[in-house]
Each structure stands twice: as structure tokens, then as C-alpha cells.
Homo-oligomer: A and B are copies of this chain.
Amino acid sequence: MIRRLSQARERGIPEATVARLPLYLRALNGMAERGLATVSSEDLAVAAGVNSAKLRKDLSHLGSYGTRGVGYDVEYLIYQISRELGLTQDWAVAIVGVGNLGRALANYGGFVSRGFRVAALLDADPEVVGDHIAGLNVEHIDELEAVIRRRGVSIVVLATPAVAAQQVADRVVAVGVTSILNFAPVVLSVPEGVDIRKVDLSIELQILAFHEQRKADRMSGGPAMAEEWPEAVDL
């Protein structure tokens, strides 16, 4: 009994599950807006684009929040997932690099909507320092450490050119930041305990291109044809 409970809630929600929770949360918010009080795992799974068994197993990692024969209470589940993800608190985010991408991120509504607050914009280019973007003043990168400390920034978004990213990462880690969202196309090296998530637009396109090519090959060449190995090419 005790065992059962702690087994479910014990430290350690699978990473794959964590990555899907925001998806469920979004689907649930849509449902709440449409006035639904409860939802079955089947319906929620469809809305989130996953299989219902997976959804149930994911939710079971948070606890036993459903009612058999009925489903899940929408509002309650929203609260539980939000709490698990840490969205019930306010996160101050700093965006470093105010080029096209940084600007887009600063204006992106999805950040603010869920507990995230853009607390600072920083750039090295004197040309853009002082600009007003999304209600914020762009500050000079020299202020990086001071700004992070002063405004309690705990998550840093890197939208700098590739060459600057590692340097900025080192500096923010040195002031105690342990969560970085990196848009620069470089492999950052950071000490143990610092979490990095990487978003790489060009990699996504390359993966699509791979599959697109496969589909094209299949059309013409037929399935699993030979001539797959066009005698070695010299360079």
C-alpha cells in the first residue's frame, strides 16, 4: 500500500513522460476553455496525438488522479500537471542575442502564457542596445551577470551567433544559472548539473530531407532495390 504509493510518486518521472506533459497540458487547457469538466484518457490522448495507454501510464507517474469509469477532472489535472512541471511559480527568463530570432522569441506569446516572464534582453551590438522590444529595454552584454543576479533569472535563452554561444554559456553558468535553452548551432560544453536543451532549425530540416528523399527513392526505385550502392565515389 505505502509501497504502491511511493513507487508511483517516487523521484524519477521518465524523461519521455516529462516531454509529453506540456502536450497534455495544452490539450487540457483547450478543453477547459470549451467548458469540459471531465475527460477520458481516450479523448485526451486523441487531442494530444498519442496513444491512450501511453497517456495513462504517463499520468500514473504523477499519481492516481483519475476516477475509474469516469475519467479525469480537467481542472484538477491541469493543476497537477502544472505543479509537476513547476509552472505554478514564476520563472524569469533572459534572452541573450537580439537578432531576428531573439526578437521573435521576445515577442512570442507562448512564453508569457505559462509562468515564464522575459525579464531581460541582452546583446553585444551597440546598435541594438537601448532598443525597445516587447516592452523591454535591450541591455549590453556587459551587464549579463548583474542583470541575472538582480532579476533572479534562472533560465537563459541563447539566440546568439554560434561563435558567441559557448562564451555566454560559461558566463551564465558561472553566476549560477543551471538551465539553458540553446538556439545556436553548436555543441555547448557545460559542467555536470547544468541542463541544456537545444533547438536546431537546420537539423530539423535535414531530418525532413532525409525522409523526403526516402519517399522519392521508393517511388522510383521500388522497394529495397539494389543499385543502392553506386560503386564507390572518389573525391
**Which residue in B89, B107, B116, B209 is a CB contact (below 8 Å) of A87?**
B209
With an 8 A cutoff between CB atoms, is A202 at the interface? yes
Contact bitstring A169-184, B, C-beta under 8 A = 1, else 0 = 0000000001111000
Can you name the residue of chain B whose Cβ is closest to the Cβ of A11?
A: B224
Contact bitstring A8-51, B, C-beta under 8 A = 1, else 0 = 01110000001101110111000000000000000000011100
A18 partner residues in chain B, CB cutoff 8 A: 207, 210-211
Q: Is the CB of B206 within 8 A of A114?
A: yes
- Cα separation A87 to B48 with both chains bound (whole Å): 32
Binding stretch for chain B, among A52-60, A122-130, A143-151, A192-200: A192-200
- Cα separation A110 to B108 with both chains bound (whole Å): 21
With an 8 A cutoff between CB atoms, is A84 at the interface? yes
Q: Is the CB of A86 within 8 A of B235?
A: no
Q: Is the CB of B108 within 8 A of A101?
A: yes
Q: Is the CB of A22 within 8 A of B208?
A: no
A10-B224, A85-B210, A100-B107 in contact; A199/B205 too (CB < 8 A)? no
Q: Is the CB of A47 within 8 A of B111?
A: no
Q: Is the CB of A100 within 8 A of B104?
A: yes
- Cα separation A107 to B104 with both chains bound (whole Å): 12
A87-B209, A100-B108 in contact; A204/B197 too (CB < 8 A)? yes
- Cα separation A108 to B189 with both chains bound (whole Å): 24
Instruction: Tell me how far the C-beta of A155 lies from the nearest C-beta in chain B, rounded to whole angstroms.
Output: 6
Can you name the residue of chain B whose Cβ is closest to the Cβ of A196?
A: B208
Q: Is the CB of B86 within 8 A of A205?
A: no
A10-B224, A208-B179, A224-B11 in contact; A187/B114 too (CB < 8 A)? no
Among A49-92, those with CB < 8 Å from B are 49, 63, 73, 75-76, 79, 84-87, 89, 91
- Cα separation A47 to B186 with both chains bound (whole Å): 10
Can you name the residue of chain B whose Cβ is closest to the Cβ of A155?
A: B208
**Which residue in B116, B201, B209 is a CB contact (below 8 Å) of A110?**
B201
**Which residue in B23, B76, B193 is a CB contact (below 8 Å) of A187?**
B23
**Extra 6 A-B pairs, beta carbons < 8 Å, given A89-B213, A104-B104, A111-B202:** A9-B228, A85-B209, A108-B201, A155-B208, A178-B212, A195-B208
